[in-house]
Amino acid sequence: MRIIPLIIAVIVSAFMYFFIIERDTLLAVASTDEATEEMEAVDAVAETSPETTNDVVRVVAMHSTARLIDSAVVVRGETEAERQVDVMAETSGLVTSVPLRKGAFVEQDQILCEIDPGTSGSTLAEAVARLAEARAGVPTSAARVEEASARLQEARINDNAASKLSAGGFASDTRVASTQAAVRAAEAGVAAATAGLESAKAAIQSAEARVASAQKEIDRLTVRAPFAGILETDTAEFGSLLQASGPNGAHCATIIQLDPVKLVGFVPETEVSNVEIGALAGARLASGDEVRGNVTFISRAADPATRTFRVEVEVPNPDLKIRDGQTAEIIIAAEGEQAHLLPQSALTLNDEGIIGVRIVTAESEAKFVPVDTLRDTVDGIWLAGLPETADVIVIGQEYVISGVPVEASYQEHNE
């Protein structure tokens, strides 16, 4: 029975010897095993990489033909009310109307706030009375002008007769001088009467201005909706005092118009040339609803901070379902363009960092072609910049450069 403990002691001693004394040797053996595994992994990768035979690289390509697709400009934006106005009272006074609550729909010219008239009615009546008085003085002034004109005519006749008699020796120079003085007095009378008539007419205009001012003040007592829309705030409460001392007047209510509604987005300067007035546009709202409309405005000045251009799309909203300030993804239709539908994996970069694809030329050589990305879809990516027909390398494009001979096998394009 003593031999078993001896065997165990020998095994433990050997283990301790190798673990402590021969530790470096054990680590070297382990490193060799890991290196062997890495080499096997490299060999496995090499088996899956393109094979080269006589300096010709074997790749996989696909035949691609360009097709006309509808291009589009996609921007993120939001909905915006067609109009939003803070309706202000232009005069001061107590509100005498029952308030309308926010959310109510109002028609154009509907009364929103009515203000106590105070003495406005008396002021208007006084102005009307003065206007009537001024108009009554005009006939009298006109009669005086006619009377003065008649006297002038008579004085001129007498002066003419006296001058002829004096020339024949039948009238004295004193009589002639007297008739000439009478003419000048009559002329002065005509001038005075005419001035009186003009003064009467001026008094009429002044009285009419006072009447218009008093009537305008009365009209200001009733605040009406400038357009049909929805109240965003309550109208002024009954009995509240509106003070129109500020430059914009006293606040009566806020009204917004949501039919039609605007979609507002900001287009990058690289794509703004693709957007035109009247272009068809659609949008998907955050709620999932989809709407359509037409472009009605393109800004001519860029936003100084973002270098983007404001674009507005007008969308019908008869049921007022679309609200102001909703997030929207806006798609604006643009002129169609020839493009190739290719898998995203076909894209690569050249030494200058330019994105593109590599194609197989007629001489069976690889060639790098820069491309522009038009649209990304679940079926692939639409690329522009390639010839109308091209053999695009889809496997092995990372192992070749322009001018390298290639042997291509082709796969079908799954659309």
Domain ranges across the chain: 52-69+337-410, 89-116+223-251, 120-219, 254-333
The residues facing 257 across adjacent strands are: 83
| Segment 156-161 mean pLDDT | 82
- pLDDT for 248 equals 64
Extended beta strands in 217-307, E state: 222-224, 229-231, 241-242, 250-268, 280-285, 290-298
pLDDT at 170 over 70: no
| Packed helices 173-219 and 120-167: angle between N→C axes, nearest 10 degrees | 170
Gyration radius of the chain over CA positions: 49
| Segment 161-186 mean pLDDT | 77
- Which fold does the domain 254-333 belong to in CATH? Elongation Factor Tu (Ef-tu); domain 3 (2.40.30)
Q: Where are the alpha helices (DSSP H) in 168-238?
A: 173-219
| Segment 11-21 mean pLDDT | 64
**pLDDT band, very low/low/confident/very high, at 26 (cuts 50, 70, 90):** low
- Which fold does the domain 52-69+337-410 belong to in CATH? 2.40.420
Q: 197 vs 222, which has greater pLDDT?
A: 222
- Which fold does the domain 89-116+223-251 belong to in CATH? OB fold (Dihydrolipoamide Acetyltransferase, E2P) (2.40.50)
- What is the tens place of the pLDDT at every residue in 270-300? 888 888 899 899 999 988 889 999 999 999 9
Instruction: With beta carbons less than 8 A apart as the criterion, state whether 251 and 88 touch.
Output: yes
Q: 53 vs 252, which has greater pLDDT?
A: 252
Residues in the chain: 415
- What is the tens place of the pLDDT at every residue in 246-279? 666 788 999 999 999 999 999 998 888 888 899 8
- pLDDT for 83 equals 92
- What is the tens place of the pLDDT at every residue in 344-395? 999 999 989 899 999 999 999 999 999 988 777 888 898 989 999 999 999 9
Q: What is the 3-state secondary structure (H, E, C) of 288-351?
A: CCEEEEEEEEECCCCCCCCCEEEEEEEECCCCCCCCCCCEEEEEEECCCEEEEEECHHHCEECC
Class of domain 120-219: mainly alpha
